[in-house]
Amino acid sequence: MSYQSTTDYDVVGVGFGPSNLALAIALDDCARQRRLTCRSLFVERQPSFKWHGGMLLPGSNMQISFLKDLVSLRDPTSPFTFVNYLHKSGRLLDFTNCKTFYPSRIEFNDYLRWVAGQFSAMVEYGETVVAVEPVGAGQSVTALRVVTRTEEGTETSRSARNLVVAVGGVPHVPAVFQPIARDRRVVHTSGYLDSPVVGAMHGRALRVAIIGGGQSAAEVTLDLGERHPDVRIDLVFRGHALKPSDSSPFVNEIFNPDYTDYFHSREESQRRAIIRSFRNTNYAVVDPELLDQLYRMAYQQRIAGAQRLALHPRSEVVGTEAGPEGVSLEILNKDEDVRHRATYDAVVLATGYERSPIPAFLDPISRYIETSALERDYRLQTSPGFRPQVHLQGCSEISHGLSDTLLSVLPMRAHEITASLLSGTGRQRGPEQDMAARILVEAAAGRE
């Protein structure tokens, strides 16, 4: 294993998905508009930029308006808006003629990649952060040593005065599937399009189980049914029926950035109650238009007399076994308390993602972290003498609300974190920089 050390930075961002991409824009704005520079670097484990690559399905659309891009809600005049992306791509009029606020997921990924390409000089791809260690001076921790590793085993150490973590979720594999999780016939939706098993289904009368009752489960079911009409699909889910997501305008206000202020100010019991009340906006629900498509597909199969899609509501997988004939599942019908076994050529887990409140690579500084709860500006609460700021994005739903893992608050969250970073980096600044920092802090609080 080789090892190298590089220069220090004011901010190191871990991960370069939409959250830290929005942060890169906010830091760039400060450099261009406020003359407040922040030496920044982002490290990303993927070899290149890709957003949910395993689910970039043909025909799948975004579930939020293109106006909720990386920057428009904060600065609609920014060169990094989705509208400017369309303009630069020569498709602005064509998109307008589509008469929609909801671009395809493929196009939105291309927009994100277009923005990421403009920050390529400050991103290191193909590096995974393995440890974040304290760097001390006397009784204080003055910086952080960020250690990364490539697939080839090369380790790099960088010094950072501050850290912003946005690593996203880890595919959730239910406990019952853990014994067979490494079987190539068991696929999580995060790797659906890249799976060789899925790619080899065309023209074959295979049997596939899809586990889950949310958006991803419905999208995979529809995709398989349309692209591979000979495949027999069992959709297994716990609920009584596939339920529509609530995207009505008044309910959607919980995703507004200013709702975060209200949510964060509540007691923990109240916050949990709010999340339970609005779970039908984001969890185990399906876009109504997609439900209609799925129902029509099932109905057309009934007309043709070859129904290849079977729904198994109120059902749970309670046993698994992988053998030469396929993947055997023991399925419990909870309504009738009846179990049956079925063997499948492939199993797709549409079981969502897990998000750790504090990632494991922060363990070396855990003794300085006072609580996993985040400050309003997404900053970890640390002990006196620990000078670096550590901000976490996308893992604080319980303290900042349901929007925390979604795209809706990205522009303002990035703005708030930037304001916090530039007002507390500890660097020597002149009066003009201090004034600019105060302006940023006031803007983040909505007082500009």
Determine the Cα–Cα distance for residues 67 and 83; give it in Å rounded to an integer.
8
For residue 115, how many other CB atoms are within 10 A of its CB? 24
pLDDT at 422: 87
pLDDT at 31: 86
| Single-letter amino acid code for the residue at 364 | P
pLDDT at 37: 76
Determine the Cα–Cα distance for residues 123 and 127; give it in Å rounded to an integer.
10
pLDDT at 433: 41
Q: Which DSSP state fits 405?
A: G
Q: Are 156 and 147 in contact (CB under 8 A)?
A: yes
Q: What is the pTM of this model?
A: 0.91
Cβ partners under 8 Å of residue 271, min gap 6: 263, 398, 399, 401
Which residues of the chain fall short of a pLDDT of 50?
425-448
For residue 61, how many other CB atoms are within 10 A of its CB? 17
Which contacts (CB < 8 Å, 24+ apart) does range 78-85 have?
78/25, 78/29, 80/25, 80/115, 80/118, 82/108, 82/111, 85/111, 85/114, 85/115
How many Å separate Cα 211 from the centre of its chain? 20
CA angle 285, 208, 216 (to 5 degrees): 25
pLDDT at 5: 60
pLDDT at 425: 43
Q: State both tokens at 75.
A: 């600065």
